[in-house]
Amino acid sequence: MRAVPIFVIFALLLSSCSRIPQPASYAFSEQQKMQVAHHWDVLAADVANQINNQLIISDYVDRAVYVKTTCGTDAVPCERGQTTQFNEGFRDLLITRLVNYGVPTSSDKKMTDIEVDYKVQVIYHASNRYTMAPGTLTALTAVISVFRNAPSTLQAMALATGIDLMNATSPTNGHYEVIITTSMVTEEKYLFRTSDIYYINDPDFWHYQNAPTGKTIQMVSTVQ
């Protein structure tokens, strides 16, 4: 009786085990990073343009819109800590852009107004995430291959160049992203809705997220 090779037995054992799909990354793409107030204005201009186009398409060119406040009113600014810097700044910028487009924009909410609302969701990723542009590994391999028969000093220089190239093209993306969703609602129905996703710098997350409110602790006296 012939002995069964060990690799055949190993293969049979592997084939009898259930396997799950292998994780695969998405194809390389780009995502913008929001870093300065000018970027808020760029978003406001884009959203205002989309709102204006939707009003024209829906034949609501004569209907006024009202950009919902996140606190207070135009006459009474938000108190410190009542809202985020982004919420307050983006509303002002959006109103300015709507007025520039000639969209009727109310300063106070009326029953006939079409309400524009926006929501900001801050996303935190605990893990470090890196970006490697297409062609990086190919370029790195090329750098090393050219010097494969060179003296050890030149090989070390090629390796250092390759590492610098990889580090330059593989930055850490930070831990925070934001999802900014703007909606236009009339008669309890969505007339328009758009969502935008951006990277943000880690130290700037507080621009988009309210500080947590402190808990009230009730003190109970035990003295009789």
Query: Quick one: pLDDT at residue 20?
Result: 76
Tell me the pTM: 0.69
d(CA 125, CA 173): 10
Query: Quick one: pLDDT at residue 128?
Result: 77
Contact call for residues 195 and 180 (beta carbons, < 8 A): yes
Query: Quick one: pLDDT at residue 24?
Result: 78
Each residue's pLDDT tens digit in the chain (224 positions)? 555 565 555 555 555 556 778 877 777 778 889 999 999 999 999 999 999 999 999 999 999 999 998 877 767 777 777 889 999 899 999 999 999 999 999 998 899 999 999 999 999 998 876 665 555 555 555 555 555 555 665 555 555 555 555 555 545 568 899 999 999 999 889 999 999 999 999 999 999 987 654 444 555 555 55
Run of H or E residues at 169: helix 152-169
Query: Quick one: pLDDT at residue 208?
Result: 93
* Distant-in-sequence, close-in-space partners of 162: CB < 8 Å, separation ≥ 6: 140, 143, 144
